[in-house]
Amino acid sequence: MNAGRTGRQLLRQEVTEGIKRHILHNRLRPGDPLPTEATLCEELGASRSSVREAVKTLHALDIVEVRHGHGTYVGRLSLSALVESLTFRGMLSVDDDMQVMADLLEARELFERGMVVKFTGAADHAYLDTLDGLVHRMRESGAKDGTGFVESDRAFHAHLVGASGNALIGQLSMAFWDVYTVVAPYLNVVSAEDEQDTIAAHQRIADAARAGDPEELAAALADHYAPLRRRLADSRAARAGGVPHDGQEAVPAG
């Protein structure tokens, strides 16, 4: 790498950090406008090209959002970059990243089982009704609308971890859900449950939450994830020349 390129990269990094400092110093929130490009150039002592490169970098990380014709704003600060990175990694290196998929699945289960103590017996009726409603949506959309089934499945798990009140746990759990859902079919790693079993598993979780039964809720979650873990093990064994437990393929990531 030549000195000129190294210098440009260092300058872009400095400007990138400068924009982040501006956001933090001014306590800006997602959706708040950033100064104009000219103002940032003056404030950071940087050229327009350096500011533009820095904004592109931050846009890719969802730290800033560029609204063409309107300006630049603080982004949603989501985990979209993490999702893209893990998804690409899972597709790029199949053999190595079976373990990554297993780790993602374990993390999701741990997040959800961690909710048991937090909300069992304390969840309000609106929360519980939403869980039941999402299972109903899965049941209604499953046979005629695969997309609706997956969306309801995702919403169910998002609502479940949402009980923690911890936004980061919610974001991480859904990021892992998204990665698993995209990569699993690509690796031929899908749930061993059929559609009705998947619905029944979600209904059991909702029923246990409504009953305020922490032991049953923990058991329902463990049983729901067991087929997913088994399918991962089967796929790994098949790639290693072993014999999987079954060759059944079914819907979504659960």
| Same domain membership, residue 119 and residue 63 | no
Compute the Cα dihedral for 139, 134, 131, 228 and give only its sign: positive
CA dihedral 222, 171, 57, 43 (to 10 degrees): -150
* Same-domain pairing of 127 and 29: no
Judge if 114 and 165 occupy the same domain: yes
Instruction: Give the single-character DSSP code of 178.
Output: H
99 and 204 inside one domain: yes
Q: Are residues 94 and 154 in the same domain?
A: yes
Shared-domain flag, residues 44 and 153: no
Q: Do 124 and 45 share a structural domain?
A: no
63 three-class SS? coil
User: Is residue 123 domain-resident?
Assistant: yes
**Residue 126 included in any domain:** yes
Identity of residue 3? A
Same domain, yes or no, for 152 and 55? no
pTM of the model: 0.65
Specify the CATH number for the domain of residue 197: 1.20.120.530
Quick check: is 244 in a domain? no
Q: Which letter, b or e, does each residue of 130-150 get, where b requires 16 or more Cβ atoms within 10 Å of its Cβ? A: bbbebbebbbebbeeeeeebb
- Looking at the structure, tell me whether residues 221 and 107 fall in a common domain: yes
Q: Which pLDDT score is estimated for 243? A: 47
Residue 11 has a pLDDT of 79
Q: Tell whether 63 is covered by a domain.
A: yes
- Domain residues for the domain of 21 are 3-74
How distant, in Å, are the alpha carbons of 127, 133, 136, 253 from that of 111?
Answer: 18, 22, 24, 16
Element (H, E) at 73: strand 71-74
110 and 230 co-located in one domain: yes
pLDDT in tens, the chain (254 residues): 454 445 556 677 899 999 999 999 999 998 999 999 999 999 999 999 999 999 988 887 778 999 988 899 998 777 777 776 776 666 665 555 577 778 888 888 888 888 776 655 567 889 899 999 999 999 888 655 567 888 899 999 999 888 877 888 888 888 888 887 777 666 555 554 578 888 999 999 999 988 888 889 999 999 998 888 887 777 777 766 654 444 443 334 56
- Closest-CA residue to 74 (of 59, 84, 89, 86): 59
Query: Is 250 part of any domain?
Result: no
